[in-house]
Structure 1
Amino acid sequence: MTYSGDGSGHGGAAATPDEIDELARRARDGDREAMEQLLGAVRPRVLNICRGVLPYSGDAEDACQEAMLNVATRIASWGGRGRFSTWLHIVAVNSARTTYRRLKNLATPTDFEDGSHDRPDPRTTSVIAGTRLDLLEAMDTIEKDHPQYVEPLLLRDVYGLPYEEIAALVDAPLGTIKAQIHHGRKLARPLLRGEQ
């Protein structure tokens, strides 16, 4: 399933946040035409989010496709309390991280019978040469013992969402979100490239 669009919700002009929210409500309620318009309108934003995590365009395209499918199939999980675009950020970031993990697993050396290792071909496993990989590795490491810190930290420090918007999105008190981001940063610093 491939979604394309020019980023417009209505015949060429970019859709406003209110128009996107309205399309999302209609799509969530089963309006297929609204779903197609919504997917066309948000695809450029989803792709940009994925490119922010996965520097190789082919990998970002894969993550974008996964995110678009998740939007189409899981839109009912958007509660409608906040902006649809905020929920969309979470879906896109999670799709990019899932794509990264899948590519990382594909790039793991394989033992042959003679004990030698097969090195992944960087032309087919492009994510191994990316510039944001230290951040993704740090988030994966933190998530093992402190999963509550990862989502707020990514939303704040990678995507620059305001604390209040993050608190509303994850349905947590503002003070809790600020504390989670603070502790997440403390855990991430020594894991980032150049500080180990």
Structure 2
Amino acid sequence: MAPAAPPAPDELDDLAHRARAGESAALDELLAALRPRILHICRGVLPYTPDAEDACQEAMLSVATKLGSWHGQGRVTSWVHVVALNAARSTYRRMKNQAVASGAAGDPASPALDRPDPRTTSVIAGTRLDLLEAMETLEREHPQFVEPLLLRDVYGLAYADIAEQTGAPLGTVKAQIHHGRKLVRPMLRESS
């Protein structure tokens, strides 16, 4: 027996509307349907599976508790992209801070520092370090470019979907992405 196909976007939107109205069965079904999508988004930022799963759990909790902040306009999946992306970036920041704190507190001659704890530092050694660091820098210096740039270049959302999600005009979104790319490009390592 083949696995059931994932719900269509219209079905997900319907589930989300019903869940917002207080139907707990619809919320359970929505979360079950969204989990693979959320995990995929988190894996795009956090290549180490346990890290991505932590971020996925954080995103699922946010979807469950903050579904009311989705205004019901546009696709729920566009809103979920942003929630998942924020959860993955938050998990990355938390792990980075834990790694820095544990390194600063320990004895520099300690052999334990030669082998980082994979529960806290796996993402630091991940393949996406240059992108995550560039996004951190961009967020500090030009925060208006971060969300549109990540939604377009990392997650491949259409410009119109990004404009709808961010509430910005389409031309503004395109300009933010263009300027964000110009600022980030010099921060990225050359691929070998």
Normalising by structure 2, what TM-score?
Answer: 0.90
Out of 27, 34, 43, the residue aligned to residue 42 of structure 1 is 34
Q: What stretches of structure 1 move > 6 A for 4+ residues in a row?
A: none
Distance 1:166 1:155 in 2: 7
Residue 79 of structure 2 is aligned to residue 87 of structure 1: yes
Residue 117 of structure 2 is aligned to residue 160 of structure 1: no
8 Å contact kept, 1:122–1:128: no
**Residue of structure 2 equivalent to 1:16:** 8
Distance 1:179 1:123 in 2: 39
**Residue of structure 1 equivalent to 2:118:** 123
Amino acid at match of 2:118: R
Q: Which has the higher strand share?
A: 1
* Highest RCO, 1 vs 2 (Cα 8 Å, sep ≥ 6): 2
Measured after TM superposition, the shift of residue 78 of structure 1 is: 0.4
Residue 50 of structure 2 is aligned to residue 54 of structure 1: no
Measured after TM superposition, the shift of residue 194 of structure 1 is: 3.5
Measured after TM superposition, the shift of residue 172 of structure 1 is: 0.6
**Residue of structure 1 equivalent to 2:22:** 30
Secondary structure in 2 matching 1:129:
coil
**Residue of structure 2 equivalent to 1:101:** 93
Q: Which has the higher helix share?
A: 2
Measured after TM superposition, the shift of residue 122 of structure 1 is: 4.2
Out of 122, 147, 150, the residue aligned to residue 146 of structure 2 is 150
> CA offsets per residue over residues 83-120 of structure 1, 9 Å max, x none?
000000000000000000001011112145x7757736
Normalising by structure 1, what TM-score?
Answer: 0.88
The root-mean-square deviation of aligned C-alpha atoms, in Å, is 1.8
| Residues matched between the structures, number | 184
**Residue of structure 2 equivalent to 1:70:** 62
Q: Identity, % of aligned pairs?
A: 62
Secondary structure in 2 matching 1:110:
helix
Secondary structure in 2 matching 1:161:
coil
Measured after TM superposition, the shift of residue 14 of structure 1 is: 2.0
1:65/1:105 CA distance change after superposition, 3 Å: same
**Which residues of structure 2 form unaligned runs of 5+?**
none
**Which residues of structure 1 form unaligned runs of 5+?**
1-7
Amino acid at match of 1:95: A
Measured after TM superposition, the shift of residue 170 of structure 1 is: 0.4
Secondary structure in 2 matching 1:128:
coil
